[in-house]
Structure 1
């Protein structure tokens, strides 16, 4: 694990992947767009590895003062545990609007396993214990880092639920150039 600017330690693989993209041009593009659109909100999102990187990105942007916290929104899908308990707590204090969406028995949000090297999720989880096929699909919101009332209480985990969010096969969608 590597120390993170916002606090705590984060998974080295996730952090290195984020830094590689951030330093290869995303930071410069972000700053240009931010300066060209000063009244806009910033929405940061991703699925799976992209979700872990989005979590790091939003925290980096707010902690570095690149964007106001009250205008920064983070929503991730199928996010693995990205850092340790200190990172989760620092993230919770830093971000005002942060939601991790989890589909039913998705296995990836349970990785690395709870307790392994002190990995911990940050707030808040929105758990759909259903197929997520309609806008009326019921969900449970758990406003804590880990909760047995949300997906942390699931024992029968599935990779299929990781591949499918809102009735769309994420892998097929990505391979089709994000077009359905």
Structure 2
């Protein structure tokens, strides 16, 4: 597991564990969610909840948005075996889900228009758990999305993993990371989720 994400998890876990152990909520299902770093922390909390037996896997659901790679292929395999109801939403060319970089399959040769697939067989390198939900164009209501269940598992090469990223387009990748379902995260949250202010309060980050 990535050390930075793990340190954050260890700081935040005690009050979460306290709630999960409260007999008052023993029969409740649990939904973990988060954006960006929050997505990584949600994944670690969901995995630990299942691993410690605080909830059975069928009572755990996870939705993350722009989640980076949390652990390696072994972590991903263990996560997928414990938690089936897990969805990593990725918007268009959001670059954060492609960080930290996975180990690429060096035996694969394409047409130069796409990246290379991640190699699940290389140990101790970043690798995603399942299941990516990719919105390749827009996140307006009714927009087309793809449930990415192909190969390699967790890193379906027919979805966002096939994208190549270029330095001179980095601003657009960051824009995609900061905008999910037509609102700017987290500035939208700071308004109390005011639908009249999807970009947050006027004057904040106007040029980003």
Alignment partner, residue 26 of structure 1:
16
1:162 Cα deviation from its structure 2 partner: 0.5
Change (3 A) 1:68 1:179: farther
2:83 pairs with 1:74: no
- Give the gaps of 5 or more residues in structure 2: 105-123, 196-208
Normalised by the length of structure 2, the TM-score is 0.75
Normalised by the length of structure 1, the TM-score is 0.86
Alignment partner, residue 8 of structure 2:
17
SS at match of 1:67: coil
In 2, the alpha carbon distance for the partners of 1:70 and 1:147 equals 24
2:136 pairs with 1:129: yes
SS at match of 2:77: helix
Q: Which runs of 4+ in 1 moved over 2 A?
A: 29-32, 37-40, 174-180
Moved more, 159-168 or 147-156: 147-156
* Partner of residue 115 from structure 1, selected from 103, 110, 113: 103
2:105 pairs with 1:105: no
Alignment partner, residue 173 of structure 1:
188
* Partner of residue 148 from structure 2, selected from 142, 151, 173: 142
Q: Where is the strand percentage greater, Structure 1 or Structure 2?
A: 1
Aligned-pair Cα RMSD in Å: 1.7
1:177 Cα deviation from its structure 2 partner: 4.7
SS at match of 1:40: coil
In 2, the alpha carbon distance for the partners of 1:175 and 1:103 equals 21
Change (3 A) 1:123 1:172: same
In 2, the alpha carbon distance for the partners of 1:108 and 1:168 equals 17
1:179 Cα deviation from its structure 2 partner: 4.7
In 1, the alpha carbon distance for the partners of 2:137 and 2:21 equals 39
SS at match of 1:61: helix
How many aligned residue pairs are there?
Answer: 167
Q: Where is the helix percentage greater, Structure 1 or Structure 2?
A: 1
Structure (1 or 2) with the larger CA radius of gyration: 2
In 1, the alpha carbon distance for the partners of 2:19 and 2:188 equals 25
